[in-house]
Amino acid sequence: MVEPRDDRANDSDDPIWRDTWWFNATDIEKDRAIWVHCIWSEREKRGRHTMGIHEGDRAEKRIALTTGTPFASELLTLEVDPYKSMHLRVPDRDVDVVWTAWQEPIDFSQPPFTHRVMNSAHFQASGRAKGTVLGEPFSGAGHRDSGCVQALAVDGAGGGR
């Protein structure tokens, strides 16, 4: 059973343990998509934030390599209401989007979804994002996930999305 605590930063001292939060959404009418990925090491007290905006054949990816908190950096802020919603703000791209779940999360760390590289907690859900992207109205469906995974380096050297 998925618990709200599963969507919060983990207190692990494991040097290769990372918490992650991610969502995407696509506004088909505007041919625009947005995504965000936050990764956090409680042991190191640092993380990485990455976000992207795709419009037609144009894509922009922005990275804040070092963050001192799981959900805030010079790039973005992300407010998480466990498995209910995520509120993304990216001031320099005029992004203010709330992603809201329309289903209960699915626990992909349990059979039949388990895999040798996904040996930790991993949860996903579908939902809808509404707000503004590049200062224009945005409304689109998408997915989100969160989890505690091993071997995703905060500095990007170990992979990740």
**Of 29, 28, 22, nearest to 52 (Cα)?**
22
Q: What is the mean pLDDT of the chain?
A: 78
* Per-residue pLDDT, 28: 95
Residue 156 maps to a domain:
no
Residue 72 maps to a domain:
yes
Q: Give percent of the chain above pLDDT 70.
A: 67
When pLDDT is cut at 50, 70 and 90, the band that residue 105 belongs to is: low
Residue 159 maps to a domain:
no
Residue 68 maps to a domain:
yes
Model confidence at 106: pLDDT above 60:
yes
Contact assessment for residue 25 and residue 141, using Cβ atoms and an 8 Å cutoff: yes
pTM exceeding the 0.75 threshold for the entire prediction: yes
Residue 109 maps to a domain:
yes
Q: What is the CATH number of the domain that holds 66?
A: 2.40.370
Q: Got the DSSP string for the chain?
A: ---GGGGS------TTEEEEEEEEEEETTTTEEEEEEEEEETTTTEEEEEEEEEETTEEEEEEEEEESSSSB-SS-EEEEETTTEEEEEEGGGTEEEEEEESSPPEETTSTTS-BTTB-S-EEEEEEEEEEEETTEEEEEEEEEEEEEEES--TTSTT---
Range of the domain at 55: 8-150
Residue 112 maps to a domain:
yes
How many domains in the chain?
A: 1
Residue 160 maps to a domain:
no
When pLDDT is cut at 50, 70 and 90, the band that residue 46 belongs to is: confident
Residue 49 maps to a domain:
yes
